[in-house]
Amino acid sequence: MRFSDGRATVVRGDNAVIDPTTELVPTVTAVRAMSVAAAHLSVPDPQPEADGWGQPLEESTLDLTGYEPSIQVAFQLTSLPTVIERGPFAAVTPMHLVFFPLGAAGIRLAWHATLSLPGGGQYVVVVGADGESAEEILYVANTTVSATASGRVWEHNPGESGGLRREVAFPRPPQDYPKPEFRDLPSDFPRDWVNADLAVGNSTTAVLGDSDQTLRGDTVGGRVVFDPSDDNGDDQKILNIFYFCNYMHDFFEMLGFDEASGNFQWRNHTGQATGRDSVVARAHSGAIYGTANMSTPVDGSAPEMNMGLVVASNRHTAFDSDVVFHEFAHGVTNRLVGGRLNVYALNQPQSRGLGEGWGDYFALTIQNYWRQEEKVVTGDWVANNASGIRRHPYDVSYAAHGTFADIGGSYTEVHDIGEIWCATLMHMNRLFGGALGDTRRGHRIAWQLVVDAMKLSPANPSFVNMRDALLNALADLENRLSGQDYVHLKSAFWKAFAKFGMGPMASSAGASLFGIRADFTTPDSWS
């Protein structure tokens, strides 16, 4: 509605006249309306809808045996907002009263419910709540929105791709992800990235700069294709940041950064934790403050990623997985360490260094999982510098430059401190691979330990706190490893941490830069 001189000059929206005799008090309870809606959805549709490939959408089987809806919470407001316990559904069911127009039949008081089926599928069901239409199904709509899609992207950066973009499926097929070592994935993993024909989905909304402008794909034969004409233009920046963020969402979901842990999703399919917090990924045309960053508020509030131009090289961070993966990892670690509702759990100097180290560690090792030759520098393409953007390469000789003993001395800046943590974890990955005789399995187990350890960590941890959290995570996996594998991995763990001065006697004054005491020995039983 627009006002001018105190008058409404433009009014948009639909209006309906409510008859004075319309009932205002429901004769059907929310619980009863839920039972009616559930019973209706439990009957398979004899003519199911088709997907983008022309194949029928297989509906989930809804078993209502013994099901009796119960109220989780209700609010004494005019529309009586009510939340029904999850039961056999994929999520809790929100309900509220509405006036539902039926054309010539007038307007009816009704319950509006949004039901999420297990295995996928979401429906809006409107159930009559007044005397004339009590318990009648007035409206049913499948509101599940998905699209088969693909995009032509820089998979890691233009240098790695030989100057040619590659068309990849959105989402990537399961075989394009490292198979998790200890977790069973949902049958529908990975879920659709794209809601319709825009670079917008359940986990990421990609836009240009500070605007709401996103990218629209072309629909060809029921498939949405994103293929910007300028492979260095703004549309490609939007597409690439969308691709990288979705891949990282799926990667971390495999390791346990799921809905219960506060991951980034608009809709939480399990009903656990809080939704409405998909990543807002902003690809800016030019340079921005800090070049690249990600802010992560508490669960239920959307994180925001910003990628800008590196002026010195005239290369854009949205095209480089080193940078986007690093920043996305910041979001993950900020949610996991201290829990999904604590945004102050990585504030101390060593804690901030851990955050930077984790960012580099995941950005590099995710790529190394698929590479023949280990990548040990980060940001080399975007900076147009073979040495990358860190002090030293993360190779096997890094400990000659810096260890835990140097924190508070020659290592005080947060990114520099992070280098020591990243170098330690990358060495742990190498030794795990060697101990198991399987480099890729070494990566998978190491990643799982790192994510599990974040959940076990205190807020504002020191390097030693995180070392101990990793040990506890490894102990938790002992029964899922063969006896020899566990022995070999624990020995490799201590060798890696002792090399970087974090042996059993290492300590510091909390997570500060003071009182650093390094220990380069390994426990006798694990040497």
For the segment 491-504, what is each residue's pLDDT rounded down to a tens digit?
Answer: 999 999 999 999 99
What does residue 377 show for φ and ψ, rounded to 5 degrees? -125, 150
The single-letter DSSP state of residue 225 is E
Q: Is residue 60 scored above 90 in pLDDT?
A: no
pLDDT in tens, 280-327: 999 999 999 999 999 999 999 999 999 999 999 999 999 999 999 999
Predicted local distance difference test score (pLDDT) of residue 62: 82
Confidence of residue 145 (pLDDT cuts 50, 70, 90): low
377 neighbors 331 (Cβ within 8 angstroms): no
pLDDT value at position 46? 60
Q: Spot the catalytic one: 327, 373, 374, 419.
A: 327
Burial level of 43, CB count in 10 A (0-12/13-18/19+)?
A: exposed
Per-residue buried b or exposed e for 116-131, using 16+ beta carbons within 10 Å of the residue's own CB: bbbebbbbebbbbbbe
DSSP string, 240-284: HHHHHHHHHHHHHHHTT--GGGT-S-SS-TT--S-----EEEEE-
In this predicted structure, what is the pLDDT of residue 54?
43
The whole-number average pLDDT for the span 116-139 is: 82
State how far the alpha carbon of 17 is from the alpha carbons of 20, 100, 102, 104, 107, in Å: 9, 11, 12, 12, 9
pLDDT, one tens digit per residue, over 288-300 is 999 999 999 999 9
DSSP H/E element including 435: helix 414-436
Residues 461/351, Cβ–Cβ less than 8 Å: yes
- Within 8 A by CB and 6+ apart from 143, the residues are 114, 122, 123, 124
Q: Flag whether pLDDT at 365 surpasses 50.
A: yes
pTM score of the predicted model: 0.76
Min mean pLDDT across 77-81, 433-437, 495-499 is at 77-81
Q: Is the pLDDT of residue 48 over 80?
A: no
Q: What is the pLDDT of residues 194-215, one digit of tens each?
A: 988 999 999 999 999 999 999 9
Q: What is the pLDDT of residue 16?
A: 57
Residue 111 phi/psi, 5° resolution?
Answer: -95, 130
What pLDDT digit, counting tens, does each position of 376-413 carry? 999 999 999 999 999 999 999 999 999 999 999 999 99
Question: C-alpha angle 356/359/364, rounded to 5°?
Answer: 130
**Is residue 97 classed as helix, strand or coil in its secondary structure?**
strand
- Judged against a pLDDT cut of 70, whether residue 55 lies above it is answered with no
pLDDT at residue 42 in the model: 87
Determine whether 327 is an active site residue: yes
Mean of all residue pLDDT scores within the chain: 90
- How high is the pLDDT of residue 92? 84
Give 484-491's long-range contacts (Cβ < 8 A, gap of 24+).
485/435, 485/436, 488/435, 488/436, 489/432, 489/435, 489/436, 489/445, 490/526, 491/435, 491/526, 491/527
- For 211-268, what is each residue's pLDDT tens digit? 999 999 999 878 899 999 999 999 999 999 999 999 999 999 999 999 999 999 998 9
Q: What is the pLDDT of residues 438-489, one digit of tens each?
A: 999 999 999 999 999 999 999 999 999 999 999 999 999 999 998 899 999 9
Residue spans of beta strands (DSSP E) within 61-188: 71-74, 82-84, 93-101, 107-116, 122-128, 137-142, 148-153, 166-170
Work out the average pLDDT over 51-77: 73
Give CA angle at 107 (105, 110), nearest 5°: 120
What Rg, from alpha-carbon coordinates, does the chain have? 27
